[in-house]
Structure 1
Amino acid sequence: MSIPPPADPQQPEDPFRAPQSQPQGPSCSPAPPPPGAAYPPPGGPGPGPYGAPAPYQPWAQGYTPFNRRPAVNGVAIAALVLGVMCFLPAVGLVLGVIALVQIRRRGERGRPMAITGAVLSALGLALWVVSLSTGVASDAWAGFKEGFRDGSVTALQQGDCFDVPGGGKNFDDYVDYVDEVPCSRRHDAEVFAVVPLDQSAYPGRSGVWEIGDDKCSELSAAYAMDPWAVPENVEVSYLWPTSDSWEYGDHEITCVFTSGSEADALTGSLRADATTLDADQMLFLATMAKVDDVLAEEPEDLAEDDLKVNQEWARDMQGRMAAEAEVLRARTWPSAVQGSVDALIEDMGDAAAEWGKAAGARGVDSFYEHYDTAYGYVDGDTTVEVRKALGLATTPPYGGGFGGGSGGGDSGDSEDRLDV
């Protein structure tokens, strides 16, 4: 029989052992714990010193890999976003396929998102193919641009009439938005030409103004072919791009007719071209316009200052007057018009003869004598009769013919009536 060793003062007393004062026989199992003592958990740690169980350590949530969920595949998220937005459908479809491959290989989550994104992208791609083949996409894009440009000066086209918000008509200031109105009602301006600017970079404000001055003045006569039908208060102006609007695609100059008075407004269209005139009217106006072009080239120096230059111009007038008279003679006119045209042709022949005599004059006095006589035929009574027969305006904007003038002083009037 063995005697247990005495208790070690450095070791805690084992609560599961029987007191020494009541020794028991040898046993193969430890004594049951006293009431209130905790049993070691099943499968817990092994016994401590002298058969006592070791302190129980619970499992910690953060330390086991079996409690962490797999990550969501980022490519699947991108595929879903592109599929829902229908943006770059081909890219969304490719990303969906890539996401499915990565999810299977890495064990990641996001398979439903990848499938949904791929399906939506495939549908979007199919719709794009159908719309492009049927022209629906181009029509929709055109409608979008029209809606975006509505009210902007970049939406104005030849023949449009508009008001400037606020009632201002000072086109020296930049105008970006306008209110389109029917030309039949009162309006601030009418578009007669749109000039595209081909420069790759903004030409600067002075460069834009230079182009506008040249092009708009040149194109005004092509839109309003009958200068007699243009009121005296009408002026040529234009809307121009700034450096800021240039960056947003505003690369054109819009030429307009506007009233020269802030208190006045335009009423009715000034358009007189192939869209509003018949063939006889067009031919007559084109013939008279060529005569007016040479009239507008009259030298600034008077004959007493430079007789030779004025005589050269008179020679040009003789040739132009004779040539245009032949154009009128070669055409077969309606019976209601033919008689007045014949009278005008005769006057033009007489005027050409006087211009020729002015070109060959031996002195300034003789030059002015024939000059005044020749100018008396310009836009005279026979011209008015032809206009009446053709249904054109019959009141000259400058008040009548040039007969009785005193040399080159009347040339300014001819230039004013052309500056519409």
Structure 2
Amino acid sequence: MSIPPPHGPHQPYGPQEPPGPYGPYPQGQFPPQGPYAPYPYHPYGPYGRPAPVNGVAIAALVLGILCFLPAVGLVLGLVALAQIKKKGERGRGMAIAGSVLSCVGLVLWTVTLTTGIASDTWDTLKDAAGQDGTAYSLAKGDCFDSPTGSLEGATYDVEEVPCAGRHDGEVFAVITLPGGRFPGDDSVTATAEDKCYTLQAEYAMDPWAVPEDATVYYLVPSSQSWRFGDREITCLFGNTDENGTLTGSLRNDETTLDADQIAFLKAMNTVDDVLFEEPEDFPEDDLPANRAWAKDVEGVLGEQIEALEGHGWKSAAEDPVADLLADMKDARTAWAKAAGTDDVDTFYEHYDTGYEYVDGPTTVTAREALGLATTVPSYDGEYEGGDESPGGDELDV
């Protein structure tokens, strides 16, 4: 490339000599300076520099190649094309490539989430996680320790430990939710509360054997884990103090109880269930509702008396159970009278008589004969009507 001489009437170096072997001047000499200095040599003039590459286009291409956040990659690609057109920058090909790859990524994500691929992937991950002591490996009857010592917040890694010793939690049920869209955190929590508090009675049939510092916790799927097929609610017992522990298993069901114990607990728990249904309004505020409830109690007592009388008890429990049945029959008569009275004071009189056998001496004696817990659970203060019935099994936990 030749360098043009400067403008003006004079040449910069004077008359030209015939070129020598290394140019017009001997090697090692420099031409004399003329009145004008030569222009400096630049590979590009001020208007020959290449346009810069659009940074948004680069980001779009990277996201498209990685198939990471495809929706974001697509948006960045479109933004980059608009900027390139406006500013005259380079990178149009990268923006187009990033947009196309992001579109492909969106299609793949949609197919994955709307077919069984995501669920299969989640099952595979969960199976692998189940071998490493994680929350996904927990099953009914397992006891575990949390790495933080608390059952609050998010939990993933857990350490399974023997239930006989101290532990943070004990699983008593695992619930599988139906598929479809994520129902929302509030809905999942409501389902967990409803199901877990119901299923605890199947795992711990004897409420007298549940310590007062035990309460119900649950692990629920998040919106993120739901996308990959997580549908399980894990119900568990833990200490009322989130940093406390439990000692020994709380399990007492068909796997740990004998036939006499199961028959007794089923009858007692059924009666307790109807006692828990006491109306919220006091008899003086809504006597008809309380009379209807008393009628229900009478009916359930009659059914459970027949069930207990029809069971063949071991010899050591025959007399204690017979004494309890006599008290239950008296209670049934009292509830029948409460259901038939139109006077509030008379209702309360029969109401008190109907509750006398509950947690009374004959109940404790029958439990002792059957090898069940004999310590009467405490309740939340004195009875004031409504849901806090003194005859229920609502533990002070």
TM-score under structure 1 length normalisation: 0.62
With over 3 angstroms needed to count, the CA separation of the structure-2 counterparts of 1:246 and 1:152, relative to structure 1, is: farther
Match of 1:417 in 2: 394
2:150–2:243 contact (8 Å) kept in structure 1? no
Aligned equivalent of 2:272, options 288, 292, 305: 292
Alpha-carbon distance between aligned partners in 2 of 1:311 and 1:344, rounded to the nearest angstrom: 25
Query: SS in structure 2 opposite 1:348?
Result: helix
Aligned equivalent of 2:140, options 151, 155, 158: 158
Query: SS in structure 2 opposite 1:392?
Result: coil
Instruction: Calculate the aligned-residue CA RMSD, in Å.
Output: 2.5
Give, in angstroms, the shift of residue 277 of structure 1: 0.4
1:160-239 equivalent positions in 2, closer than 5 A: 160-170=142-152, 173-239=153-219
With over 3 angstroms needed to count, the CA separation of the structure-2 counterparts of 1:418 and 1:321, relative to structure 1, is: farther
Give, in angstroms, the shift of residue 210 of structure 1: 1.3
2:142–2:171 contact (8 Å) kept in structure 1? yes
Alpha-carbon distance between aligned partners in 2 of 1:337 and 1:146, rounded to the nearest angstrom: 50
2:166–2:248 contact (8 Å) kept in structure 1? yes
Match of 2:300 in 1: 320
Render the CA deviation track for 1:363-392: whole Å, top value 9, x for unaligned. 111100110111111121111111101100
1:398–1:413 contact (8 Å) kept in structure 2? no
Query: SS in structure 1 opposite 2:385?
Result: helix
Render the CA deviation track for 1:297-329: whole Å, top value 9, x for unaligned. 000000010011001101111111121111111
Q: Which structure has the larger Rg over C-alpha atoms?
A: 1
With over 3 angstroms needed to count, the CA separation of the structure-2 counterparts of 1:208 and 1:271, relative to structure 1, is: same
Instruction: Work out the percentage of aligned pairs sharing the same amino acid.
Output: 52
Tell me which amino acid in the other structure corresponds to 1:156.
L
Aligned equivalent of 2:366, options 386, 401, 405: 386
2:149–2:243 contact (8 Å) kept in structure 1? no
Match of 2:355 in 1: 375
2:383–2:390 contact (8 Å) kept in structure 1? no
Match of 1:39 in 2: none
Match of 2:49 in 1: none
TM-score under structure 2 length normalisation: 0.65
With over 3 angstroms needed to count, the CA separation of the structure-2 counterparts of 1:287 and 1:152, relative to structure 1, is: same
Give, in angstroms, the shift of residue 407 of structure 1: 6.8
Structure 1 gaps of 5+ residues are 1-140
1:162–1:178 contact (8 Å) kept in structure 2? yes
Render the CA deviation track for 1:199-221: whole Å, top value 9, x for unaligned. 22222211211110111111110
Alpha-carbon distance between aligned partners in 2 of 1:378 and 1:166, rounded to the nearest angstrom: 41
With over 3 angstroms needed to count, the CA separation of the structure-2 counterparts of 1:285 and 1:233, relative to structure 1, is: same
With over 3 angstroms needed to count, the CA separation of the structure-2 counterparts of 1:415 and 1:351, relative to structure 1, is: closer
Alpha-carbon distance between aligned partners in 2 of 1:386 and 1:144, rounded to the nearest angstrom: 46
Tell me which amino acid in the other structure corresponds to 1:159.
G
Match of 1:408 in 2: 385
Give, in angstroms, the shift of residue 143 of structure 1: 12
1:72-83 equivalent positions in 2, closer than 5 A: none
Match of 1:32 in 2: none
Give, in angstroms, the shift of residue 244 of structure 1: 1.4
Structure 2 gaps of 5+ residues are 1-122
With over 3 angstroms needed to count, the CA separation of the structure-2 counterparts of 1:337 and 1:146, relative to structure 1, is: farther
Give, in angstroms, the shift of residue 184 of structure 1: 1.0
Match of 2:378 in 1: 398
With over 3 angstroms needed to count, the CA separation of the structure-2 counterparts of 1:342 and 1:207, relative to structure 1, is: same
1:14-413 equivalent positions in 2, closer than 5 A: 145-146=127-128, 149-170=131-152, 173-398=153-378, 408=385, 411-413=388-390
Query: SS in structure 2 opposite 1:417?
Result: coil
1:237–1:255 contact (8 Å) kept in structure 2? yes
Give, in angstroms, the shift of residue 362 of structure 1: 2.5
Render the CA deviation track for 1:158-183: whole Å, top value 9, x for unaligned. 0001111111222xx22222121111
